[in-house]
Structure 1
Amino acid sequence: MAITNPLSLVKLEAYDKIFSTTYEDKAIQSRGEFLQAFPLDTLGKLDLEDYVIGRQSPTFCTFVEARTRAWASINGSPAIKFGIYFGGIKGDKTKKHRFSKKFGVTEAVAYDAVKAALRELGQLASSPSIPFEAIDKNPLSQMLKAKILSLYFPDKFLNVCSANHLETLAQKLGIGDGLALSEIQHRLLDVKKGDATTKNWSNPKFMSFLYATYIDEPDTGGDEVVKPRRKTKRRVNFEEVQKLRSAIGEAAEQFALQWEKQRLLGAGLGHLISKIDDRRDRPSYGYDYLSHSAVGRERYVEVKAVGRLPGGDGHRFFLSDNEHVVSLSQDHALSYFFYLVFFDGKAKPERVVALPAAEMYDRSEIMPAAYVLRFDLAGPAD
């Protein structure tokens, strides 16, 4: 059903200028990682230990709540929203499987009911004509249903999960009164698609705009790069430069490549994963991987292993002159990204922050590190 688009062009253009593509890429990659771990055909078919939150391994519920938080946040509500979980409660810290009595009176019966509800949800959402009332009657909690729908069916349901937030947005945008929550979640996408500015925005970007404009709860997802607090005249240890490149450079590049594949999958561009071109052995290009931000729009990815400076002076990575020149060139400037790979205390890659080169330069301090001088001799060889 078509609706009159209420979005303000002034607000959209203003938000477009300040929106963080770093947050957007993080949100999309988290969806890709989730789909990679739990494809749609596994919904409602997992063993209990692969489903419940409270286990150390990255279970289904751990992904839905924590590892895809950038996509949509459902934190804050108790773990009982998952129907069954592993953990303690107030007054009884014993860790065991705990479940909502609406699903059954025993652990086994309850989880069978949860799995049945998950399977039903997937079937309802897959229907060409979406039965919104039936989705709302599904016994899974609202937050869980909405998050799952947005992850598996982003072309049908926007990544807004809270009942209060959905009702607020419906009222603010004039979507209609008395609608099923899942229908509001669906119609928010109609608003997005019906506006010339937002129709090509990603779901995380549009969701973030709605929250910042109408809910007043902007969420940038953290990992914001800012200028160092103080300038430094620190000496460059060239042996450290070489050591860093050889010891952890390969690990960073492989980790970033996997992250990029997950981002493409999360963006619905899985068919472009095979098109990623590894250009690390051709340094004249000035970047590591040729990928895509969208169909027909290339993305130049330069991977950087990030190190923490002693004394609280921030973080740093090393940049060649060729990489710097290419990143600023007319052909690359708008599509050149640094993929900053951060390591844990055991020198293991743990996360990627993707930042356009122009933003990186604006938020950092650049210092000379090293140059290669190439020359020949005029006289005869010895």
Structure 2
Amino acid sequence: MVGHKFNEAQLRAFESAYDVTHEDIAAQARGEFLKAFPLKSLSHLELDNYVIGHQRPTFCAHVEAKTRPWANIQGATSEKFGIYFGKTKTDLQKKYRFTRRFGNTRDDAFRSVKTALLQLIKLGQAAQLDFSEIDKNPLSQMFKAKILSLYFADKFLNVCSADHLETLGAELGCGNDRPSSEYQHRLLSVKLSNTTTRTWSNPKFMSFLYRTYFPNDGKKSVATILAPKKKNHRKVNFEDIQGQRDRIGKAAEAYALEWERRRLEGIGYTELASKIDDRRDRPGYGYDFLSHTSPKQKRFIEVKAVGKLPGGKGHRFFLSDNEHIVSTSDEHQEAYFFYLVFFDTDGKPFELRPIRADELYQQSEMLPAAYVVRFDFRRSEK
């Protein structure tokens, strides 16, 4: 396929405004899914590990909700999974419910759904893709598209709506009246054939397509870093702060290290996930972990446990002078990331937001938290 001639001004404008946080979070979500449900484990998938509706993160819960940053398929009912555990508007009892086209009993329905899932995986793995057979697979279209994009990101773009795929396919010269899965594949080929977009991640390219061709579709609120409200001065017990930092700091670092491994696996850099250099015991470097954004691009990661300011008027973390110097140096500035780890009310890490240090500094204020007073003391003899 000949490289698509995107508007260069649009590409530059998008690139300058794009927040890499979004693709990092999307990649981590995919990596977490691949860890929880590797391809080799699907033949052993059981009903309670498949259906949405249980408290634990099941296969369907991962595909629909936990990997939403990768692609959004929420909106349709849980019937799209073939079988689920839940209630309806007219029947509030929580129980297994299934689509009759898959079977007349719970067990029969799950066997049919699992067979369809394994067939879909086999079709996605094939060297010669059979798009007609993929589209004939009885699983719902958006569900299939999401699964294919998660497991085979090198073959299928993470756009799942049949209508959107058809529209994008027509706009980008992929032909008319083709199977949805073929559009998914051809759109990825468009990305790879363009000299600018070929280096972009799938989530970044997908965001560009939606920003360009569906500018008013699917807009949603996102977490944003804002400048804090005016500071109210208060007394601070630095010993208490230091004790808390030591305790939660270790938890934040362990959480961030695992998060980073999943991010790298989510963008296909599995070999780099095992090569993350832990530099926590060498504070002179000015960051915790040396990782990679891509094989040829380093990423310097400083993990920060985020705390709330009194009255819920913002958040804060503590930054050393050395960390600040390193993060603003010519060598590190464009690749120095803060991994902001948030904790729940039980004191456990539950969310991570990666952000480049230079971007965070623009939307925050820096205040001295402590000073080191150095002096020489000698007793004089009389």
> How high is the TM-score relative to the length of structure 2?
0.95
Matched residues in 2 for 1:231 and 1:173: separation? 51
Check the 8 A contact 2:54/2:85 in 1, yes or no: yes
Partner of 1:314: 314
Please tell me the residue identity of whatever aligns with 1:137: K
Per-residue deviation, residues 272-312 of structure 1 (Å, max 9, x unmatched): 12211111111111001111111021111000000011223
Partner of 1:5: 4
SS of structure 2 residue aligned to 1:86: strand
Matched residues in 2 for 1:196 and 1:223: separation? 31
Matched residues in 2 for 1:121 and 1:88: separation? 28
Alpha-carbon distance change, 84 to 380 in structure 1, aligned in 2, over 3 angstroms: farther
SS of structure 2 residue aligned to 1:338: strand
Matched residues in 2 for 1:297 and 1:124: separation? 34
Alpha-carbon distance change, 101 to 294 in structure 1, aligned in 2, over 3 angstroms: same
SS of structure 1 residue aligned to 2:304: strand
Partner of 2:247: 247
| 1:272-311 alignment, distance < 5 Å | 272-311=272-311
Matched residues in 2 for 1:180 and 1:380: separation? 91
Partner of 2:42: 43
Q: What 5-or-longer segments of structure 1 have no aligned partner?
A: none
Matched residues in 2 for 1:13 and 1:380: separation? 69
Check the 8 A contact 1:3/1:175 in 2, yes or no: no
Alpha-carbon distance change, 380 to 46 in structure 1, aligned in 2, over 3 angstroms: farther
Q: Larger deviation: 102-111 or 222-231?
A: 222-231
Matched residues in 2 for 1:102 and 1:332: separation? 57
Check the 8 A contact 1:20/1:220 in 2, yes or no: no
Partner of 1:206: 205
Q: Please report how far the alpha carbon of residue 314 of structure 1 lies from its aligned counterpart in structure 2 after TM superposition.
A: 0.5
Alpha-carbon distance change, 160 to 234 in structure 1, aligned in 2, over 3 angstroms: farther
Check the 8 A contact 2:261/2:274 in 1, yes or no: no
Please tell me the residue identity of whatever aligns with 2:169: A
Check the 8 A contact 2:3/2:194 in 1, yes or no: no
Partner of 1:60: 59
Check the 8 A contact 1:51/1:59 in 2, yes or no: yes
The alignment covers a number of residue pairs equal to 380
SS of structure 2 residue aligned to 1:134: helix
Does the alignment pair 1:264 with 2:264? Answer: yes
Q: What 5-or-longer segments of structure 2 have no aligned partner?
A: none
Matched residues in 1 for 2:60 and 2:257: separation? 26
Partner of 1:114: 113
> How high is the TM-score relative to the length of structure 1?
0.95
Check the 8 A contact 2:156/2:184 in 1, yes or no: yes
Please tell me the residue identity of whatever aligns with 2:363: R
Alpha-carbon distance change, 373 to 276 in structure 1, aligned in 2, over 3 angstroms: farther
Matched residues in 1 for 2:187 and 2:60: separation? 25
Alpha-carbon distance change, 125 to 77 in structure 1, aligned in 2, over 3 angstroms: same
Check the 8 A contact 1:74/1:161 in 2, yes or no: yes
Per-residue deviation, residues 129-176 of structure 1 (Å, max 9, x unmatched): 100000000000011100000000000000000111111111222221
Q: Please report how far the alpha carbon of residue 40 of structure 1 lies from its aligned counterpart in structure 2 after TM superposition.
A: 1.1
SS of structure 2 residue aligned to 1:93: coil
Q: Percent identity over the alignment?
A: 55
SS of structure 2 residue aligned to 1:228: coil
Q: Please report how far the alpha carbon of residue 219 of structure 1 lies from its aligned counterpart in structure 2 after TM superposition.
A: 5.6
Per-residue deviation, residues 44-102 of structure 1 (Å, max 9, x unmatched): 53100000000001100110011100000011110010110000112001111111111
Please tell me the residue identity of whatever aligns with 1:225: I
Please tell me the residue identity of whatever aligns with 2:214: I
Please tell me the residue identity of whatever aligns with 1:252: A
SS of structure 1 residue aligned to 2:199: coil
Q: Please report how far the alpha carbon of residue 372 of structure 1 lies from its aligned counterpart in structure 2 after TM superposition.
A: 2.6
Alpha-carbon distance change, 196 to 380 in structure 1, aligned in 2, over 3 angstroms: farther
Q: Please report how far the alpha carbon of residue 4 of structure 1 lies from its aligned counterpart in structure 2 after TM superposition.
A: 5.0
